[in-house]
Amino acid sequence: MRSFRPRALGTVAAALSVGLLAAACGGSGNSGAAPGGEQQTEVKVALSDQGCAPAPASVAAGPVTFTVTNAGTAKVTEAELQSNGRILGEKENITEGLNGNFALRLDPGTYTMYCPGAAQDTSTFTVTGGGAAPAAPADTSLAKATQDYHDYVVSEVAALVPATKAFDDAVRAGDIPKAESLFAPARTHYESIEPVAESFGDLDPDIDARVNDVDDPAQWTGFHRIEKALWEDKSLAGMTPMADKLDADVATLQKNVATATYQPAQLANGASDLLDEVSTSKVTGEEDRYSHTDLWDFAANIAGARKAFELLQPALAAKDPQLAQQLEARFTDVTSGLAKYQQGNAYVDYSTVPQDQRRQLADAVNALAEPLSQVSGKVV
């Protein structure tokens, strides 16, 4: 989720996620050699109430690691690097005392560092050079990974479109039981590729915002607005325009992903972002607060992260076989833990999962998050 829609985590949420976030957001952030011996440039982004100006504000084209730190602000917890309205990389949920990083290969040009909530929420970041960023050494496995990930995203959204329409058709027909049965299955296709959707400006908030994520509840749209109508209000009166807009927004997403391209590091960054989604809303029960279908989303986030990892795995295994093996084992641990809550093709109502078992799920994600955060620096 984009944090310009701030999330108000309660005491339970904070208790469950603080240890996980410390691992998921951690990382050395040191400059080092990129694949093939290229030197990575480190840019420090210090979050404060005033802003998040990158230091240095100008670097040469090539691989760049952004190290995001928070020394004491509750207002600003995210930094995003944007270009032409699209998020190229970000690190969310950097609360006081935490840090995190993301890596990208950047071409010459002018970029924007955005930190929602700050007094000056945008700063200019410049990449210099006479031409394109130096190309990474030819690596057919990485080239294949990015193309295959594009194809995966396109296929997930292709499945999302009819699944959402079936859900919205039930909403338009006023069929509450049918709409409830179709809500979680439709969302799995969205949750598996959510970092991609987040990169397209306001599209993710329009599709997936919760009520505390919007300034004006009258402008709240998307899956969770209809979720509230189904499970809390128990009435679909007035929801036809919401269903129509949701169909239209998902169609826009399909159009956007058709031409999107990705860097290997973006696959790794996205996988880490999906684990962050688990830690900040799925494990805590905040995401699907009316339907309690959080485990569906949890599983979809993990599946999307695992897909990105599996596509990068051949290149990662060649560079750091121990890390690749560790990640494979820890993905297996998380998916095995989730399997305990399956009932056929569905998952149990999350409100029935005790706090100690939620902690076990969080611990498994915690063990996965830290090594996964190392991958982008290996493939940038």
Q: Identify the domain boundary among 83, 115, 135.
A: 135
Residues 362, 266, 139: CA angle, nearest 5 degrees: 120
Average pLDDT for residues 200-211, to the nearest whole number? 92
Residue 30 included in any domain? no
Residue 3 clears pLDDT 80, i.e. is over it: no
Between 170 and 141, the more confident residue is 170
Average pLDDT for residues 66-75, to the nearest whole number? 91
Do both 102 and 160 map to the same domain? Answer: no
Q: How far is CA 320 from CA 54, 135, 146, 257, 271, in A?
A: 30, 21, 19, 31, 18
Residue 135 clears pLDDT 90, i.e. is over it: no
Do both 124 and 154 map to the same domain? Answer: no
Least confident stretch, 22-26, 54-58, 179-183, 259-263: 22-26
Query: Measuring CA to CA, which residue among 189, 298, 316, 301 is closest to residue 253?
Result: 189
Residue-level pLDDT at 281: 72
Q: Identify the domain boundary among 135, 162, 187.
A: 135
Do both 47 and 149 map to the same domain? Answer: no
Distance separating alpha carbons of residues 149 and 315, to the nearest angstrom: 14
Largest CA distance in the chain: 61
Between 153 and 283, the more confident residue is 153
pLDDT tens for 71-80 read 899 999 999 9
Residue 7 included in any domain? no
Residues spanned by the domain of 121:
39-135
Least confident stretch, 24-33, 76-85, 279-288, 337-346: 24-33
Do both 130 and 145 map to the same domain? Answer: no
Residue-level pLDDT at 118: 93
Distance separating alpha carbons of residues 50 and 70, to the nearest angstrom: 12
Between 108 and 40, the more confident residue is 108
Average pLDDT for residues 100-112, to the nearest whole number? 91
Residue 106 included in any domain? yes
Residue 24 included in any domain? no
Do both 158 and 178 map to the same domain? Answer: yes
Least confident stretch, 80-84, 123-127, 233-237, 248-252: 80-84
Average pLDDT for residues 67-73, to the nearest whole number? 91
Average pLDDT for residues 361-371, to the nearest whole number? 90
Do both 163 and 274 map to the same domain? Answer: yes
CATH code at position 91: 2.60.40.420
pTM to 2 decimal places? 0.81
Three-class SS of residue 253?
A: helix
Non-local (6+) Cβ contacts of 336 within 8 A are none
Least confident stretch, 138-147, 168-177, 262-271: 138-147
Residue 174 included in any domain? yes
Residue-level pLDDT at 38: 66
Q: Identify the domain boundary among 102, 135, 168.
A: 135
Do both 264 and 221 map to the same domain? Answer: yes
Count the helix, strand and coil residues of the chain and give each as a percent rounded to the nearest 5. Answer: 55, 15, 30
Do both 300 and 207 map to the same domain? Answer: yes
pLDDT tens for 305-361 read 999 999 999 999 999 999 999 999 999 999 999 999 999 999 999 999 999 999 999
Three-class SS of residue 66?
A: strand
Do both 119 and 184 map to the same domain? Answer: no
Average pLDDT for residues 255-272, to the nearest whole number? 93
Average pLDDT for residues 98-122, to the nearest whole number? 92
Residue 85 clears pLDDT 90, i.e. is over it: no
Residue 5 included in any domain? no
Residue 36 clears pLDDT 60, i.e. is over it: no
Residue 17 included in any domain? no
Residue-level pLDDT at 17: 35
Q: Are 258 and 151 in contact (CB under 8 A)?
A: no
Residue 4 included in any domain? no
pLDDT category at 19 given cuts 50, 70, 90 is: very low
pLDDT category at 95 given cuts 50, 70, 90 is: confident
pLDDT tens for 145-168 read 999 999 999 999 999 999 999 999
pLDDT category at 30 given cuts 50, 70, 90 is: very low
Start-to-end CA distance of the chain, whole Å, equals: 23
**In the chain, at which residue ranges do the beta strands (DSSP E only) sit?**
41-47, 54-55, 58-60, 62-70, 79-83, 86-91, 99-106, 109-114, 122-128, 342-343, 346-347
Our count of domains for the chain comes to: 2
Q: How far is CA 321 from CA 166, 241, 275, 340, in A?
A: 44, 51, 22, 30
CATH code at position 323: 1.20.1420.20
Do both 63 and 148 map to the same domain? Answer: no
Residue-level pLDDT at 87: 87
Q: Are 127 and 106 in contact (CB under 8 A)?
A: yes
Least confident stretch, 61-65, 240-244, 300-304: 61-65
Do both 123 and 143 map to the same domain? Answer: no
Do both 69 and 181 map to the same domain? Answer: no
Between 75 and 132, the more confident residue is 75
Residue-level pLDDT at 225: 98
Query: Measuring CA to CA, which residue among 2, 8, 136, 124 is closest to residue 61?
Result: 136
Between 2 and 118, the more confident residue is 118
